Structure 1
Amino acid sequence: MINILLVDDQEIVREGIKMILSLDEEINIIGEAENGRELMSFLEKQIPDVILMDVRMPVMDGVEATKLVKEQYKDVKVIILTTFTEDEYIFKGIKNGADGYILKDAGSEDIIKAIKTAYNGNILLNPEVAAKIVKAYKSISTEKQNLDKYKTQKYKLDLLTKREMDVAKLVAEGKSNKDICKVLFLSEGTVKNYVTKIFEKLQLNSRTELAVFISQIQLY
Structure 2
Amino acid sequence: MVKVLVVDDLPILRESLKFIIEQDPQIEVVGCAENGKEAFELCEKLAPDVVLMDLMMPVCDGVEGTLIIKTRYPFIKVLILTIYGDDENVAQALKNGADGYILKDIEPDKLRRVIKNLADGVAVIQQDVLSTFIQQMDVMESFLVEHKRLIAEFSQKELDIIRLVVEGKNTKEIADCLHFSEGTIRNTISKLLERLQLQDRRQLAVYAMKNKLV
Q: Cα distance, 1:114 vs. partner?
A: 2.0
Pairing 1:15-30 to 2, within 5 Å after superposition: 15-30=15-30
Taking structure 1 as reference, are residues 178 and 61 closer, same or farther at Cα in structure 2, changes over 3 Å only?
Answer: same
CA distance in 1, matches of 2:37, 2:2: 23
Could you tell me which residue of structure 1 aligns to residue 145 of structure 2?
A: 153
**TM-score, normalised by the number of residues in structure 2:** 0.70
CA distance in 1, matches of 2:65, 2:203: 17
Could you tell me which residue of structure 2 aligns to residue 134 of structure 1?
A: 131
Could you tell me which residue of structure 2 aligns to residue 114 of structure 1?
A: 114
Taking structure 1 as reference, are residues 215 and 41 closer, same or farther at Cα in structure 2, changes over 3 Å only?
Answer: same
CA distance in 1, matches of 2:51, 2:144: 33
Q: Deviations over 1:184-209 (max 9, x none)?
A: 86859x85x948x84xx54x5x5324
- Percent identity, please: 36
Q: Deviations over 1:17-58 (max 9, x none)?
A: 112223222211111111111111112223111111101112
**Contact kept in structure 2, 1:150 and 1:217, CA below 8 Å:** no
**Contact kept in structure 2, 1:95 and 1:209, CA below 8 Å:** no
- Structure 1 or 2: larger helix share? 1
Could you tell me which residue of structure 1 aligns to residue 95 of structure 2?
A: 95
Does 1:31 pair with 2:25?
no
Pairing 1:174-189 to 2, within 5 Å after superposition: 174-177=168-171
Give 5+ residue unaligned stretches, structure 2: none
Compute the RMSD of aligned alpha carbons.
4.2
Does 1:207 pair with 2:201?
yes
**Contact kept in structure 2, 1:100 and 1:114, CA below 8 Å:** no
Q: Deviations over 1:43-83 (max 9, x none)?
A: 22231111111011122221232233333333322221112
Partner-residue secondary structure (3-state), 1:25: coil
Give 5+ residue unaligned stretches, structure 1: none
Could you tell me which residue of structure 1 aligns to residue 71 of structure 2?
A: 71
CA distance in 1, matches of 2:6, 2:91: 21
The total of aligned residue pairs comes to 204
After superposing on structure 2, the runs of 4+ consecutive aligned residues of structure 1 that deviate more than 6 Å are 149-152, 179-186
**Contact kept in structure 1, 2:144 and 2:207, CA below 8 Å:** no
**TM-score, normalised by the number of residues in structure 1:** 0.68
Q: Cα distance, 1:6 vs. partner?
A: 0.6
**Contact kept in structure 2, 1:4 and 1:28, CA below 8 Å:** yes
